[in-house]
Amino acid sequence: MLMCYTVTKNKDISMFLTSDNTKIIEYLKLKNMYRFADAYLQFLGTGKKLDKSDIKILLKNIRSSDFLEFEKSLFEIFSRFGITVISEVQKSSSNLRVKKHRESIKAKGYKNLSLLLPPDDYQKLKKMKLSKKMTYSELISFLINQ
């Protein structure tokens, strides 16, 4: 039995899946394993097919709720076909931007500073910041230089 399954990424991609493949994808999404689901759909998009034994192993792991064995089987299958699973850091562009920003700040020689202030002193610092229209780091540098 063939079912139509639509995935939306940058554009709509329609492909025909067997009921076994649909079960595998639904399980991946149920377990919030979207990066594995994307990699599995990428694999299916190549037109290659899994052996019946591979599908049986995956379905057996789903029925037994053996998550670790299921993940291990997926990695073995993906490595055979040269498909990589995108890690969360690679997938999230905001994480990459933050990492790049921190690296550039460290390269310039800046140091991270954390302050614990009493509530009254914090309010004073906040008022000074707003009145001088500076960031906290600019304000602290200004106060140090005076």
Cα distances (Å, whole numbers) of residue 88 to 34, 58, 91, 92, 127 = 10, 23, 5, 6, 39
Model confidence at 36: pLDDT above 70: yes
Global pTM reads 0.46
Q: How does residue 127 score in pLDDT terms, banded at 50, 70 and 90?
A: very high
Domain boundaries, the chain: 2-90, 106-145
Query: Which region among 35-39, 85-89, 133-137 has the lowest average model confidence (pLDDT)?
Result: 85-89
Q: Name residue, tokens 């025909």.
A: 16
pLDDT tens for 50-101 read 788 888 888 888 888 777 888 888 888 778 877 777 665 455 567 778 888 8
Q: Which of 22-31, 48-57, 94-103, 122-131 ranks highest by mean pLDDT? A: 122-131
Cα distances (Å, whole numbers) of residue 113 to 5, 53, 65, 136 = 51, 56, 46, 11
